[in-house]
Structure 1
Amino acid sequence: MTQIHTETYGQGPVLVMIHGWAMHSGVWREFARRLAGHCQVICVDLPGHGRSEAIAPYTLRQVSDALLKAIPVPKFTLLGWSLGATVAMDMADRYPERVKRLIVLAGNPHFVDKQDWPGVKADVLDGFAELLKGDVQQTLVRFLALQVNGLSHGKQLLQTLKLAMQECPPPRSEVLLAGLRILKTSDMREFMLSNRLPVSMIVGDKDMLIPPASGLLLRRLNPGIDLHLLESAGHAPFLSHAEQLISVIGPMV
C-alpha cells in the first residue's frame, strides 16, 4: 500500500484537508491548528508530494483511492484546495458513503476554460508543463506568484508560500506533470450538478486561477450548492483571510 503522510490536529468531528498542486500539508499547518479549535483536522499529502510516496499510474482515480485508504475514520467532512479540490470531488463522487460534506476551496469542476465554462486558459497549464522541462524550482515559484498576483499583501503571501514549499523537496517532474494532466482533463461538472451531498464552494473574488464566475454558474445550475465569495481574496485565502475562512468552515464540520 502506498505510504500517505498525514498530520492530525484537535479533537471532535473530522475534517480532512487536501492541499493543491506542488504543495504539501505544511502549507496550511498554522491554519489547520487554528481550525482545530472547532474540530479534528486531518491533513493529507497527495501522493508524490511532501512526505507521501508516489504512485503509478498517477491518475485521479488512483490518487483518490490512495488517500481514502489513509484516512483512519469511516466518515468525514472533506475539504480540497485547487488540485486537492478536484481530488475531493472525485472522492465524494465515487465514495459518497464516506463523505458527510464536501467543501471546494478555490477549485473548479472543470479547471480549464471552455466556450461554455469559465476556467483558466489551457495554455497557462501548458506553459507550466513546458517550463517543468527546464527549471522545476523556478516553475514552482512562478506558479506561487500567480496565486497572489494583484493582492495588496501579495509579496508577503508569496514569501509565506515559498517558505512552506521549501519545507520538503519538490515533487518529481513526472508527478507535477501528472497533476497538471489531472487538472487539464478532469470534468466533475456532472457530479457537482447532480450529487446529493451537502456541497459548499469558497472562491476568492481576485483568484487568478479560479474565476468566481465558475462558482456563480454552478450555483445557478444547482441552487443547492452553498457558495461563499471572499472579498479581496486570491487563490490561497487560508493565508490572507484565515479568520473569515474559519468562521465559514467551522460550523460546517
Structure 2
Amino acid sequence: MSGIHCETYGHGRPLLMLHGWAMHSGIWRQFARQLAEQRQVICLDLPGHGRSAPLARFEMPAIVEALLAAIPVPSFDLLGWSLGATVAINLAAECPDRVRSLTLLAGNPRFVREPGWPGVKPEVLDSFAELLSSDSKQTLQRFLGLQVQGLPHAKTVLQQLKQSISECDAPDFGALQGGLRILKQHDARDSLAALTLPIRVIQGDKDTLVPVATATALRNLQPALQMKVLPGAGHVPFLTHPQALADIVLGDD
C-alpha cells in the first residue's frame, strides 16, 4: 500500500494531475471531470494532503517515490499545478520512460525570486513559515487570498476555494512545513532543462505567485517548450477559466 489517495475519472489516454501546497484533489475535481470527457484523468493527493498518508519527512525524493508507487498506469501525460508543478518536474526526471508529456500550470522550477529569475519574494514564504508555527489556519487563509489577489471576482473565487478544500482536514504540519521549504529552497531548473519530452507551460497574466515574466526565463531553459498565457487568469485558472484551460490541455487530442 502506498498510502496515496487516488481518484480516477473517464477513459482514454491517461492524464495524471498533481495539486498544489496545502490543497488536495477536490480543489479541481469539477475541472478533472470536464477533462474526463475525453481523457482518463488520475488525481493524486500529495503525501500528508487530503486523504493521503503523511511521510516521515516531506522531502522531494520521498514524495516522488510515494507517488510513483501509487500511479495505476504504466505511462501517462503529467500536469502539475503550483507546488505540484515542481513535484511533476522531478517525477518526470525520475521516470522519463513513463511520462509522455509535461504540463506546468501556474508552476515554476524555481519558485522564489533571485537575480535574473522572476518569482515570488522570499520574504513572502518566510512570513508564511513564521506564521505557520503559531497559527496554521491563518497561514492557509492568507495563502488562499494570494491566489485570487487582483482578480475581478476575487471574493467569489475565494469562496470556491474554501468550499473545495473544506471537505478534508488541513494537511499535517510536517507536510505544510516541508512544502514551504521546497517552495523556498528547491531548484528544479537543471532537471527541467535536461528533459527531452514535450513540455507545455500555462500561466495567467494576473498570477501574483508565478509572474508571467517567467515565460522568457523558462524559454532560456527549454527553447522548445510551448507557452500559453491565459488573459485575465490568476493562480487558479481551473476555477476562473475552466473552458479556456481545458481547450489548451486537450488541444493535442
> Which letter does structure 2 place at the counterpart of 1:233?
A
Counterpart CA distance in 1 for 2:23 and 2:238 is 14
Counterpart CA distance in 1 for 2:84 and 2:220 is 24
> Which letter does structure 1 place at the counterpart of 2:40?
Q
Q: CA deviation at 1:31?
A: 0.5
Which residue number corresponds to residue 173 of structure 1? 173
List gaps (5 residues or longer) in structure 1: none
Is contact 1:2-1:54 (8 Å) kept?
A: no
Which residue number corresponds to residue 8 of structure 2? 8
Q: CA deviation at 1:221?
A: 4.1
- Cα deviation, 1:100-135, whole Å, max 9, x if unaligned, reads 000000000100101121111111011101111122
- Cα deviation, 1:165-216, whole Å, max 9, x if unaligned, reads 1110001222101001111111111122232110000010010100111122
- Cα deviation, 1:131-178, whole Å, max 9, x if unaligned, reads 111221121011001000010111100000011111100012221010
Q: Normalising by structure 2, what TM-score?
A: 0.97
- Cα deviation, 1:83-110, whole Å, max 9, x if unaligned, reads 0000000000111011000000000010
- Cα deviation, 1:25-48, whole Å, max 9, x if unaligned, reads 000000000110110000000000
Which residue number corresponds to residue 142 of structure 2? 142
Q: Does 1:190 align with 2:194?
A: no
Which residue number corresponds to residue 18 of structure 1? 18
Which residue number corresponds to residue 83 of structure 1? 83
Structure-to-structure mapping, 1:201-240, within 5 angstroms: 201-240=201-240
Counterpart CA distance in 2 for 1:173 and 1:131 is 12
Is contact 1:18-1:80 (8 Å) kept?
A: yes
Counterpart CA distance in 2 for 1:21 and 1:198 is 25
Which residue number corresponds to residue 72 of structure 2? 72
- Cα deviation, 1:9-36, whole Å, max 9, x if unaligned, reads 0000000000000000000000000110
Is contact 2:54-2:172 (8 Å) kept?
A: no
Q: Secondary structure at the match of 1:63?
A: helix
- The percentage of counterpart residues that share the same residue type is 54
Q: Secondary structure at the match of 2:134?
A: coil
Counterpart CA distance in 1 for 2:70 and 2:48 is 14
Counterpart CA distance in 2 for 1:150 and 1:65 is 37
Which residue number corresponds to residue 103 of structure 1? 103
Q: Normalising by structure 1, what TM-score?
A: 0.97
Counterpart CA distance in 2 for 1:57 and 1:42 is 25
Q: CA deviation at 1:231?
A: 0.4
Which residue number corresponds to residue 251 of structure 2? 251
Is contact 2:6-2:44 (8 Å) kept?
A: yes
Show structure 1 runs of 4+ deviating over 4 A.
none
